[in-house]
């Protein structure tokens, strides 16, 4: 698999997981990596390192902001590198080790 294609599809894979696990009523996953090119955590491709998730879900009702964010992080657990709690991997074999999410911003709608 071409690593750039895998990283470009990471947003789509993340969106599918969030839709399925959190029954999202509104959902947008944006890859903002290009804006962070050259910053810490950038892999030099402008893809797959910095994401923004905008989401609304009935599962958030009655939960604190922290609990809502925890649901999002838990849903994306399979993307996370078990050796670095602040990074998430692209989630597929054959992608380079450097293809990990450095930052995830969550906006609850």
Q: What pTM was estimated for this model as a whole?
A: 0.70
Q: What is the pLDDT of residues 61-81, one digit of tens each?
A: 999 999 999 999 999 887 765
Looking up residue 97, the CATH number of its domain turns out to be: 3.30.300.90
Phi-psi region of 48 (alpha: psi -120 to 50; beta: other; left: phi over 0): left
Query: In which domain, by residue range, is 102 found?
Result: 3-108
Instruction: Say if residues 29 and 15 touch (Cβ distance below 8 Å).
Output: yes
Q: Read off the pLDDT band of 40 (50, 70, 90).
A: low
Q: Read off the pLDDT band of 44 (50, 70, 90).
A: low
pLDDT higher for 101 or 76? 76
Q: What is the pLDDT of residues 9-32, one digit of tens each?
A: 888 999 999 999 999 999 999 888
How many domains does the chain divide into?
A: 1
pLDDT higher for 101 or 106? 106
């Amino acid at each position: 698999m071409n690593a750039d294609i895998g990283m470009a599809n990471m947003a789509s894979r993340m969106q599918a997981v969030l839709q399925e696990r959190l029954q999202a009523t509104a959902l947008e996953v944006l890859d903002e990596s290009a804006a962070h090119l050259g910053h810490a955590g950038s892999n030099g491709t402008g893809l797959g390192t910095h994401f923004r998730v905008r989401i609304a879900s009935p599962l958030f009702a009655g939960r604190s902001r922290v609990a809502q964010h925890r649901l999002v992080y838990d849903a994306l657990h399979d993307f996370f590198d078990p050796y670095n709690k602040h990074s998430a991997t692209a989630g597929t074999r054959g992608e380079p080790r450097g293809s990990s999410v450095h930052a995830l911003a969550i906006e609850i709608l």
